[in-house]
Structure formats: C-alpha cells, structure tokens
Chains A and B, each alone.
Chain A
C-alpha cells in the first residue's frame, strides 16, 4: 500500500497514504449503483439515486471519523458500544410489544435506526475484543466459547424475535468467523456444522414462520409457486438472463421499468443492473467487490495485533456476507431474504453497516501503518 506513496512523490502525503486500492473501487461501485438507481427510479435522480449519493457522502464522513479513532478509545468503547446496541435491540422489542405488532427500527426524530444493523459490526468488535483479551492457553476450553457465545446468542435471540432471520444469520456469520479465526478447535466447528445440518429439518418444521418456510420451499423448487413466493426470484432470473452479454442498455430494462421485477432498487438492484448492463456490468460489479474484499483481507493480514486482525477479518466477512447472500439470492441460488447489496441497493441501514465496516478496516489500516509490525515473539 505504501508503494503508491513511494512512486508518486508529487501527491501530498495525507492523500497518497489513503487506501486508494479500496477507495477507488468503492467510489466506482457506489457511482455505478447510483446510475442503476437512476434507471430504477424511472430515469430520474429522484427518488433513489440522489438520496443514495447523499447517504454515501454522509456515511463517508462517519467512516472518516471511525477511521481516525485511536486504539485506546476503541479498546475502551467496544464493550459499552456493544451494550448500547444490545439495549437498543431490547428497546425495539419493547416498543414493538407496546405498539402492537413487530417492527425493526427505532425512531429518533427524523432518523430511523435499525439496531440489528448496528449489531453486525458491534458483535465483530466485541468478539475481537474478547478473544484478544482471552489468554492463549484458554483457547479450546469452555471459557473460550461460553462468554463469546453469549455475545452472539443474546443479539441473535432479540433479532429473531423481531423476527428477522436474515439479519440473525448475518450477525451469527460475523461472530462465527471471528471465533474460527481466533483459533478455536476445528472439530468444534465441524461438529456444530454437522449438528446444524442434522437439525435443519427440525428447524424447518418447528422453528420457522410460514413465510420463511415458503421461502425455503420456493428456493428448493422455484416452479412450485411461480406467481407467489417464487415470483420474485423467477423475475430476477428473467431480468438477469434477458440482459445477455451487453445488456439492454441504460434505462431500457423492461423487467424493472414495467414493474415485473419486485424491489428493483433494493434487494434486486443487481438484477436491475444486469438487465441493462448485461454480463459485463455484472463482472464489473463482482470485480469491484473482489478488490474491496481483497484489500480487507490484506488489512487483516497486515494487522499488528490479535484484536486488529480479528476485527479486520470480521468486518470483511460481514461485508462479504451481504454481497454473497444477496447475489446468490438474485441468481436463484439462495432463498429470497431481505438482504440488500452493499453500496448499490437503495437504503440507509445497510449503507451504514457497510460503511462502519469500511471505517473499521481503514482504522485498522491506519494502525498498521503507524506501528510497524511486531515480530512473532513480541
């Protein structure tokens, strides 16, 4: 990363030291997302594209602030931040109960916050903090898994109550990735995975809501209900498939413009894009994500200590989870669930989560640069 600094001496150092290998793809991706939203909005900046750009700008500021946080402050704030988000989740549940009917957000004046989104980076932070403070020798004992397990299970339980299966799985994914990277014995994961697979039928029949069950059934057999739950995925595949190699052209997507594609600006924004930009647009988007994620892993690999490493890896994994599940879904390889595509979908909550993750990664990146890597025996 420092290569850029060395090669181009004319660029001022504060600018040159920014992680451009991530920032450029990120800006390109966001701009492209805005273009797609412009089309999804019927060929206009309103109602989607403009707010998309504004949000990106606002959250970019937030990202910069996060990126500049000193290490001590982070150490100090991690657990309180986790606790606050957990309380917010509890508040959602209480407000929902009082107001009658479930909801997923809290309203503070004009701002509407979805605490379950905030919980994704919060869990990663807390887990990284926990494992970094756990004595190495305890890895493999019950004490290495029970407290961290609680850190995951509490928010998941609250989010499941909302009910929001997709976000619960995303929170669990981030937490489990940190656990895995923290060095917990491999056979634990294999056993848990095996048990999970064995429990699937039980979960399917006893734990899932009807609409969730419908999503799973539809995923396994999309033709079973072409006008009901399978309609979304079928229309999404039609949009992507009909785009061909070069797409139908900007603003020429019929699936999105004639309302066949549901949610063309949020969950199915990739289908909207692929219809108009074709395989080329899709590969471009995938390439941008690959660059961003690659940078994330690089930050994790260059991390100076256990906390930074786990934090960077967890943040990267969280971003990845969004991308993978959304794309698998729009291409008909995962059940439809409400997970938007980072930096392309219209929507503040996911933009916030992903920008927080980026902020955390930039923060770790800054720490990496400030303190030269310690030796193995440090």
Chain B
C-alpha cells in the first residue's frame, strides 16, 4: 500500500483493482477461511463425540482386550489308575521351555543358543529345528521339559534376548512303569494342526499342553482333559505383566480307574524278556483285564516329550516291532491252543469224549497225508488224551466227522474273530474261517483239508492274544465272559452259560493234565502248593517247511509259541494267554505264563525268578531299552531320517504293518501243515526223531506210545 497506484487513471475500466477492493476481498476471504476453520472445528467436535459416545462401547472393549491378557492355565490331566488306585499315568511338576515358531526372529540362531544354554544333545537340537521348520507357526514346539531350576532361572532372566521362547512352570505326564505300559496307556503329545482345526480350542495351542495320542490316553481324552483355569493379567504392549487381576484355578481331569493290576502288568512285561510277545491275564470271575503286556515297547515318557528322530528310527528298524500293540493288533495262527475249544465243539456235536481214535502218526485226507506232531503216533486216543498230548490225528478225524461249521461257530462263541467292547483305539478281529468266508475272500470252495488245518489252529485261522485269553476264561468258566478294562463298567456275560458243567470239568481236567499230568507242558507247573494251573500249548508254523524248520534260522521264520491257561484249574480265578512271536514253539510261551501266575499267587517267588532272568538279560526292559537307545544313538545318531511329521502317520504306519504281518501265514494256509512237536514235559528240546520230517510223506504208522509223554 505504500506504493500508490494513482498513476492508473480514473478512466480505466471499473475492473481496476485498488487497495480498498483488496481490503474488501481480504475481509470476504478471511470470513470464508474462518468459516472453513469453524467447520473443521465442528467436524472435530462431532467426530470426538461420535468416538467417545456412540462408539464408546466398542472402544472400551478393545481397550480392555488390549490391557487384559487372558492366559489359559492348562488343566492338569486326570490320572490313570490301576485297580488298586496306584497310578499308571500321573503328572509331575516340571519346568519346561517351548517355542512359538511364528514369534521367532532368527529360528536357527535362537535354537542353537537355547541348546547351548540348556546343554541339549545335538540330535535333540536337530529335531527341534526340523519341527520348527515343518510346524505351523502357531503350534508350540517343545524344547525341553523336566529342566533343573537353575537352567530354568538362567533362561528366564535372559528372556528378552529370546523372542518366541516361552519358559513356564507346568505339569508333564509321568508313566512310572515306562515301557511296561507303553502300548496299553499310549502317550501324550502336542495337538497337531489337524486336531486344532477339528477342535479350534485355544487350549490346544497353549505351549506345553498335550493331548492323548494313542491308547487309553487318546481314548479317554475327554474325561482326562479337565477344565482349564484362566489368569487375567494386565500387560503392557510389550507383553510385560503389570499385575495379576484375577485367577481361576483349573479343574483336574477325572481319573480313569482301570482293571489292570499295575504290578502284574509290569511283571509280565519284564518277564517277556528278550522275546517279542504279549501276555494277557483276566480275572475270569469278573472279566477284568489284569494285564495286557506287549513287548518290546516304547517309553511313553520319552514319546510324550516328542518322538525324537533317533528314537523313532531305532524303534522302526527293529523287526520286533516295538511300536505295535501285540495284544490287540498281533494276529497269530492259534495253533493247538484251539484244541480245547474244538473239543467243546465236538462234545456239543454229540461226540462221546471217551470214544477213541487210533493215532498212527498221520491221517490220509483225500490224496494227502496229514501228520500228527508225534510221528510215532499216540495210539488209542480219547478226547482228554488228545488235549493233553495235543494229538492232531484225533482232531483231524473227529473234525471231519462234524464238519467245519460247528467248529467255526464254537470259535466265535469263544471269542475268536470277535471284537470286544473295550475302550481301545483299535483291535484286530482275526479270522475264523468257514466255507462262506473262504468263498467270499478267496473265491474257492471249502476243502476237507481246510477243516483239518483249522482244527489245529492253522490254515486261515488267526486270532489275537486278547481273543485267546477270552477263550481261556470262557473255557475255564463255561460262561460267556466279556473282558472289561475300566472299573466303572459292569461285568458282563456271566448270566450266559456256554457250556454244561460236565463239559467244563472234562476240559478243565484235560487241560490241567497238560501241565500237571502226562501232558505237553510239564515245566509250566506252578511252584506253589495246592494251586494247579491248567493250560494248552500251541506252536504255530508261519512259513512253509521248505523255508524253515521253525526252530532255527532267521528269527522271522521261526514258529510262534502260544499258551492259554487258567488257575486254579478246578475253581478258575485267573485265565490268560501268552503269545511269543517267533519263539520257536510253545516252550517259549508257557514258562512265562508259569512265572506270571506264580507272581499273582506269590509275588515274592515270582520276583525271585524274574531277578535271576533279568541278571542274564542285562537289566529290566526299561534299562535295556535305554541302553539300546544310547548304543543306537552313538552308532547311527547322525544318519537317521526324520520321523513322520505327525504322530498319526506313525500310528497308521504301525497299523498297516500289523495288518500286513497278519497275512504272513496266508501263503501256507492251503498247505499240509506238519504240526510241530509240542513242548515236552521233561523240558529237554524235542529230540531229532520227533522233529518234523522234511517232507509230508505218509507217516510211519507206528502205534508206539509217545515216549516223551511218560512221566
């Protein structure tokens, strides 16, 4: 304004700009800007009101959820108890460390430093890295549990250096008898991604929380789980806990009371020793399963910490399949153990037990000759002698008379081919062959020699140790005993009699003579006064004679050894079955049955026998497993392939292998079986003459009484 613009003449157009025009324009525009500013002010006030009044509820919630961190307190898992209330699976307080993969900054470096800090083995570190790489980001990966307090404290102090690492106090599963209960109880492990998708419960991805993966742990997951507690804490954005607001305690899962007798289970598992096999013992007055031991086994304590690569490789490479629960998923030709059952079928078909068959060491069926295990023959043989001497010719002959159907029906009635209402993840049925079954499965007519093979428990016949034990208790009691595994179920089947009293006492006596009389298992006699055990031996051929003689050679071609038993014979209290895979004959099975029953009636005596044996074997089953692991890890530790990512894959693989193994004997089902010499009372190995002949040629019709049976 200092510079006058008067030089602009007054004659200029009216549009000419001058100071007063500018001043007016300034004032107009200032009002405009002021109005805009006022408008912004009003907008801000409205927005403020909207946020703090209309949206207040929403933002207050969000602020609370920022401030308050709800941590789940994983519920303590229910205990699994034996029949006397002693724990087979319990919990122990524990310091543990987990990783949350998605929160890790530099996974490998963190794991290496953790490994150093906690002094982990290289194999373990490799396993953790592998798991972190393959797991979904939110799934916690266990680094270590059972830490010493010093290690735990050292790590907790340095936590800011380790994002994604979660040290905590918690509980871990403890199986006091370790591998003895591995197959029965199963184990626990972190939920897999699939399990979390099926049940998107935040508890499942809580670090350190584990669910049942196999066996009873899986079966009773719902009961054992309990109710998680919760802790509300005020946290900063950085995650630092400012204070506790409120804590709700967890509710421990319900205990599961089993019918299992813990000490007996452990004893039986250990008594199996170096063999591969199973022992089932039932209380035949209630159907209680007292023992379901399957060995060799895995250590569920170590499985619950995560199945390590080395450990898995060792168990997988073992031809004795430590991952298979042989009680439920081992299928074996029952061999001669079916003879008492077949005898029942014969009696019910009207055969007089006193009727004799002359055993000349073999019997011609069609154009083939089926030998008796005793090539010299048993001479005149009635039913009792056929049982205690295990005479094959008697059964060949009698079974042909009544045909296969009554025998198959009786086998099913005794439990073979049956599934029992037990809380187990799966049980194999086995096979009770009959004409309809053969036609359906193989498309071929039933032949007489099929009947002959089936009557001595060979051919297509397959059953599990559990089924054999049930058969033993049904034969012993004459009742339709149903097995049970938990104390809260009712005993079943005792109102249903399968056999008449006379038939039962006849078979009981004959089976007692197997052990206590002139039978095939004299060494099975209990070292206890006035307690007599009854039983029946069985030796099952698994491959053709042209491959192996069943006694020596490769382990997997040796005969299975079987024994069913009950005691006391005249008033049965306990019944059961022992099956030793490829034990080379029933001689491998009945000493175990004898010691297990001895332990039941007189624990001290049983333990004495076991202690002597274990001294020779190199420790208890668990000690041997650990020693083997150490040796294996030292030898192969660096070169193992990694275990399947999911535990389910392991279990499926084990099942598939068990099914495949059960078909091993299909190959010889149609062959003439040359029955193996049954174990002998004197305890000496079967003599050369008694060994099966190399070819199933017509047996010498020698009527001489079997020398080995004299006692």
Contacts and interface: CB of A to CB of B under 8 A. Distances in A.
A140 interface: yes
A297 B59 CA distance: 37
A330 to B, nearest CB: 10
B359 to A, nearest CB: 86
A15 B3 CA distance: 37
B137 to A, nearest CB: 15
Given A136-B5, A137-B5, A258 B236 contact: yes
Contacts of A235: 66
A59 to B, nearest CB: 24
Contact of B63 (A177, A255, A282): A255
Nearest to A231: B237
Contacts of A327: 44
Given A137-B17, A331-B44, A183 B60 contact: no
B440 interface: no
B37 A242 contact: no
Nearest to B62: A238
B37 A320 contact: yes
A27 B418 CA distance: 92
Contact of B56 (A133, A244, A258): A244
B41 interface: yes
Interface string A132-166: 11011101100000000000000000000000000
Contact of B19 (A259, A274, A306, A317): A306
A333 B52 contact: no
B55 A180 contact: no
B49 to A, nearest CB: 6
A254 B66 contact: yes
Given A133-B3, A136-B5, A260-B66, A181 B41 contact: no
Nearest to A309: B26
A301 B66 contact: no
Contacts of B25: 183
A296 B22 CA distance: 20
A254 B51 CA distance: 17
Contact of B48 (A182, A242, A289, A331): A331
A310 B3 CA distance: 17
Contacts of B45: 282-283, 286
A335 interface: no
Given A278-B52, A300-B30, A258 B66 contact: yes
Interface in B32-65: 33-34, 37-38, 40-41, 44-45, 47-49, 51-53, 55-56, 58-60, 62-64
A135 B66 contact: no
A181 B62 contact: no
B27 interface: yes
B148 to A, nearest CB: 34
A137 B51 contact: no
Interface of B is mostly: helix
Given A258-B236, A313-B30, A328-B44, A241 B56 contact: yes
B33 A259 contact: no
A136 B19 contact: yes
B642 interface: no
A83 interface: no
A140 B33 CA distance: 20
B641 interface: no
A352 B5 CA distance: 39
B26 A238 contact: no
A327 B66 CA distance: 23
Nearest to B12: A137
A183 B63 contact: no
Contact of A290 (B41, B55, B63): B41
Interface of A is mostly: helix
A305 B22 CA distance: 11
Contact of A279 (B21, B41, B49): B49
Contacts of A313: 26, 30, 33
B513 interface: no
B52 A137 contact: no
Q: How large is the interface on A (under 10, 10 to 19, 20 to 34, 35 or more residues)?
A: 35 or more
A239 interface: yes
Contacts of A293: 37
B237 to A, nearest CB: 4
Given A274-B48, A286-B44, A331-B51, A258 B5 contact: no
A329 B63 CA distance: 19
Given A135-B5, A283-B45, A183 B26 contact: yes
Contact of B53 (A133, A136, A245): A245
A301 B53 contact: no
Contacts of B41: 286, 289-290
Interface string A238-254: 11111111000000001
A207 B27 CA distance: 37
B169 interface: no
B639 interface: no
B37 to A, nearest CB: 5
B311 to A, nearest CB: 39
A167 B615 CA distance: 87
A376 interface: yes
Interface in A299-318: 300-301, 305-307, 309-310, 313, 317
Given A241-B56, A244-B53, A324-B40, A137 B8 contact: yes
A327 to B, nearest CB: 5
A228 to B, nearest CB: 14
Nearest to A290: B41
A238 B48 contact: no
Nearest to A240: B51
B367 interface: no
A4 to B, nearest CB: 23
B127 interface: no
A320 B64 CA distance: 34
A158 to B, nearest CB: 27
Nearest to B235: A258
Given A258-B66, A258-B67, A301-B27, A241 B52 contact: yes
Contact of A241 (B37, B51, B66): B51
A301 B22 CA distance: 13
Given A135-B5, A244-B60, A290-B41, A279 B66 contact: no
B26 A139 contact: no
Interface string B54-96: 0110111011101100000000000000000000000000000
Contacts of A282: 45, 48, 52
Contacts of A181: 26, 29-30, 33
A327 B22 CA distance: 33
B44 A183 contact: no
Contacts of A260: 63, 66-67, 236-237
B62 A242 contact: yes
A238 B66 contact: yes
A242 B63 contact: yes
A136 B56 CA distance: 54
A134 to B, nearest CB: 8
Nearest to B37: A320
A235 B44 CA distance: 18
A43 to B, nearest CB: 14
A169 to B, nearest CB: 15
A89 B37 CA distance: 30
B18 A136 contact: yes
25 contacts: A133-B3, A135-B3, A136-B22, A137-B5, A139-B17, A181-B26, A183-B21, A183-B22, A183-B25, A235-B66, A237-B51, A238-B62, A239-B59, A239-B63, A241-B62, A283-B45, A286-B45, A290-B38, A293-B37, A297-B30, A307-B1, A328-B44, A331-B44, A333-B47, A376-B20
Interface of B: 1-3, 5, 8, 16-23, 25-27, 29-30, 33-34, 37-38, 40-41, 44-45, 47-49, 51-53, 55-56, 58-60, 62-64, 66-67, 234-238, 242
Given A238-B59, A300-B30, 18 more contacts: A133-B3, A181-B30, A240-B48, A241-B52, A241-B55, A258-B66, A258-B236, A260-B236, A274-B48, A279-B52, A282-B52, A286-B48, A290-B38, A297-B30, A307-B1, A317-B33, A320-B40, A324-B37
